[in-house]
Each structure stands twice: as C-alpha cells, then as structure tokens.
A and B are shown apart, each in its own frame.
Chain A
Amino acid sequence: MNGVGARVEGVRYSYGAGEALRGVDLAVGAGEQVVLLGPNGAGKTTLTRLLVALRRPSAGRVTVGDWDVAGRRPDEMARRVGYAFQHADQQLFARSIEEDVAFGPRCLGRRRPAVGALLEELGLGARARLHPYDVPAPTRKLVALAGVLAMEPPLLVLDEPTAGLDHEQRDVVLAALRRRAAAGVTVLSVSHDLAFVAEAADRVVVMREGRIVADRRARELLYDREALAELGLRPPATVEVSVGLGLQGRPVRAHEVVAAMRGIRWREELSE
C-alpha cells in the first residue's frame, strides 16, 4: 500500500476566545512516521482534527494527498485518513468487538470484511465476540485502533496511541505500526511518550501555544538533552541507558539498545 502525505499551510483555528492554532505550516511526506510533541494545550489534537475535517480552519489550507480537505466531509476523509481518538470510547458503539472493527470496512462497501487476522494481530482474537465495554479501558483502545486499521487507510492519525496501555499492549501497538510503516503507510501520531517516539518516529514536530517550534529527526532530538530539557522532557530509558553505559552507535530503539548491551559482563547482585 502506498502512503499518502498531508500538508497544512497558514492554518489558524480558534475555540471561542482562545486561538488554538496560530499559523501552522507542516508537510508530512508519504510514508513518513511523524510524532507531534508538545505541552498540554499546544494545539496538537486540534491540528490533527483538521486533517479529517472534524474541524475546519478559520484560515489556511489543508490537503491530504491531492484532496483539498475544505471540500470534503469527514466520512469522505475517512477513506484516506484513519483517525484514532485519544479516548477510544468516543469511537466504539457496536455490540461486539468484531462488529465494531468491521463497521469501517462495511462502510467502504465490503460485504464481509475479514477482521479475524487483524483482531489476532492486536491480541483481541479471543475477545472478538465480547461487548467492547466488557473489556478493560486500555483494551478498548486496541479495539478502536483495530477499527481504524481495518479500513486500511494510507494515512493514520493517532492521538496518544499508547497512553494507558501496559507493556505488552504497547508492544502490540508498536509492532502493528511497524508493519504499516514497512508497507508505506504514513503515520502521524500525537504523543507525550518519548519511548513511543524512540520506537516509532523518524521525525518529531514540536508544538507550543498553537505554533510549530521545532522539527527534528527523532534520533537526533532524543540525544539532544538540552533541547529536550527546554521542552520539559527527559530522554527515554533506552537513551538514558545508552548514554549511562557509554554504548556505541547512538541506539534509540529497545532492540538496538539490547543488541549494544550484549557484550556487557554482569556482576551477580552485590550484597550491600
């Protein structure tokens, strides 16, 4: 599957009194893996909602591939952009997990969507027939993600895809996103989670007070302690360990760090 890029130009947006976006320009290339970072209230979620026509900018232009979003309805945009809300509960409504996940592809005209493999991929296979509200909230997040992936959109927009998930579920999400990335799908995520950035981003765009204030390669930013501190962030554990142990090659992903640690000889626990 080929990914599709997105572009916002000179975009502004206001919620009543406060201006949430104050002139934003951003181009995301087809197949890029981008994370939007920034403090609460920076405008990250607002920006992503413009891409699916859930909100309309008061000024500026938004395009997804060759589509101008201004002339499109949210249901049309859903063919190109898969949007996972920060709160899964905002997008779950069917009586069973499998029905919920099949809803999107049905809307695209597929009579009998094959969602079984997808549910297996996200570790939901055994729960397919349960009501979405009979599984814990973090698991519902995976259900909502499955519903988005089921439509096989060329652009994924994910708002805090790992918030509240346990380690195992995070690994499931990361693996699923890695497979989409390898297939060329573009992924734009909003996240506060630098461990997620380390595993899933090529590029990091930082927002603050409705503007883009930095745009960096992920690997470079994660080793730039000063820049992170300025953003109120600390490096992820992988980078802390890499720096703390003097590992070679600036690894950022867990498997890279583990590979670089292989040569270490360990002491048994020291008695203190």
Chain B
Amino acid sequence: MTALVALNRVSFSYPGAERPALEAVSLEVLPGEVIAATGAAGAGTSTLLLVATGFAPRIVGGTLTGVRTIAAARCGVVFARPWTQLTGLCPTVRDEVAFGPASRGLARADVLAAAERALERLGIAHLAARDPAQLSGGELQRVVVAAALALEPEVLALDDPAAELDPEAADALYDALPGLAAADAAVLLATPDLERAARVATRAVAMASGRIVAEGAPEKVLTGTEVARLARAAGCPPPWPMDLAALRRRVAPDTAR
C-alpha cells in the first residue's frame, strides 16, 4: 500500500523561531488510517498536521529538512481556530462549503453535490442558508470541517476539531472520522481529547518538544486518560487502566471501600 504522506526524519522551523517545532519526525500515513497525534501544548501536533499536508512551509514559511513525500492528490486542513479559515467572501454557509470544490474547477452540479454531501455528513444542512459570520463557535467549527470535507481530500487533517463543539456534536464528529478515512483516504487528527481519540483512532502518536515519543496502537499510546490519571493518583500500579472497564478489572476482589 502506498503511503499518502511519508515523512522521513523531517524537521521544521517556523520563520524566526529559535528552536525547531518538529525534530526528526518519521511517520507514514496510509489509506484507511485515522491517526491521532497528542501532546502537551507546544509539543508539535499542530505543526505535524501543517507539515504532513504541505501547508508548512508552503503557506506559513519556515524551513523544512529531511525527506517529505506527499502522494495524496488533495489535502484538507481544519485549523484549531475555525474563524481563521473562513473565506470571508461567502454570504451563506452553502457557498462557503462550496468554495473549495468550486475552486477545483468542477462542474456546477458537482460542486453543489459535494457541498450538500459535506453539509449532510456534519449534520448542518439546516444551516446552509445562514450567514457564516452569525454562527456560534460550535456551528462555525462544523462548517469549516464540512468545507474541508467538500474538497474530497485524500488526507484530512483536523486540529482539535471538537474544541468548540458540545459533547453530542463532538461525539458525532469523532464517530464520523473512521467513515471519512475511506479506502483511498486518511484522517490525521491532533487532539487533547484522549478518550474520544482512543475510540476512533487506528493508530496514535504521542509528541513532546517536537518529537514523536511513542507511536502505535491507541491503547498503548493514549495512556493519559482521565481514568488513568485518577487510577495513578489513587495508587494503582502501572500500567494504568485507560477506561472504567479496565479500572474495575484491576480492583482486587476482596478490596475494602
């Protein structure tokens, strides 16, 4: 299987930065994968998304070293702050979502069909006629994800896509990710939400100070969940259980409570 994106010891520095934001990162993104990248603020997960999709350094400037191969025909990116990527040109949500496919030069019917599909998938068809400037933060976030999706990208990179969503909408978005990573496409996700990431990711990478420090199955990598933190603080020996079911299995049968 050919990788949609391959990074081989890639380092990247933002313009004028003293330290690289990514250091010697190697990662292959294969079709069908949902890869969750996690780490503390400043760990490099957002930068990883920008580099893997070609936005850095092409759009943001900076310096890239190492070998990067982007085989994907199209990459869609959703930034953590959704209002920064509205076109500002579109009077309605439908136009905003159609902007991407329209700029690919598709026929009008195909543009509209792609926009409608994306709106449906995000559950925001009812917002189609609204002015993007008058939406709430959560509504806007879904519009921006739909706009990226309408491009029908082979790699869809999402930076904390549920930060603004209410829990129901966040669940719906995460649950849709495996479906978005189709036979010929992949999802690359940067998120602090380990619980939801663990539910949908096929693979996870943990980052710190610009480096990948762990990579593999979600249950091996996403070990800092709330339940794990509670178990650790309460004296449960490692490895700390990630969820309630695992926690309950670790309680000795004769324990006193």
CA distance A245 to B256 in the complex (A): 11
Query: Is A61's beta carbon under 8 Å from chain B?
Result: no
In the assembled complex, how far is the CB of residue B223 from the closest CB belonging to chain A, in whole angstroms? 12
Q: Total interface residues on A, using CB and 8 Å? A: 56
Q: Which one of A39, A164, A236, A267 lies within 8 Å of B169 (CB-CB)?
A: A39
Report the bound CA distance from A267 to B238 in whole Å: 10
Note all chain B residues with C-beta closer than 8 A to A164. Answer: 80, 160, 163, 192
Count contacts on B: residues with CB < 8 A to the other chain: 54
- Judge whether B138 and A237 touch: CB under 8 Å: no
Contact A40 B139 (CB under 8 A): yes
A241 touches B247 (CB 8 A): yes
- CB pair B137 A86 closer than 8 Å: yes
A254 touches B247 (CB 8 A): no
Chain B nearest CB, measured from A272 CB (Å): 9
Q: Is chain B's binding surface mostly helix, strand, loop or mixed?
A: loop
Docked CA distance A203–B163 (Å)? 23
Q: B230 interface residue, CB < 8 Å from A?
A: yes
Q: How far in angstroms is the closest Cβ of chain B from A168?
A: 6
Q: Is A163 part of the binding interface, using a Cβ–Cβ cutoff of 8 Å?
A: yes
Contacts A40-B169, A245-B251 aside, 18 further interface pairs with beta carbons under 8 A come to: A39-B168, A40-B142, A40-B165, A41-B138, A45-B137, A135-B42, A138-B41, A160-B137, A194-B167, A237-B225, A245-B248, A254-B233, A258-B230, A261-B230, A261-B235, A262-B235, A265-B255, A266-B250
- List 7 A–B pairs whose Cβ atoms lie within 8 Å, in order of A's numbering: A18-B130, A38-B166, A164-B192, A167-B229, A263-B256, A264-B255, A266-B250
A residues engaging B (CB < 8 A)? 15-16, 18, 38-42, 45, 86-87, 89, 134-139, 160, 163-169, 192, 194-195, 232-234, 236-238, 240-241, 244-248, 254, 257-258, 260-270
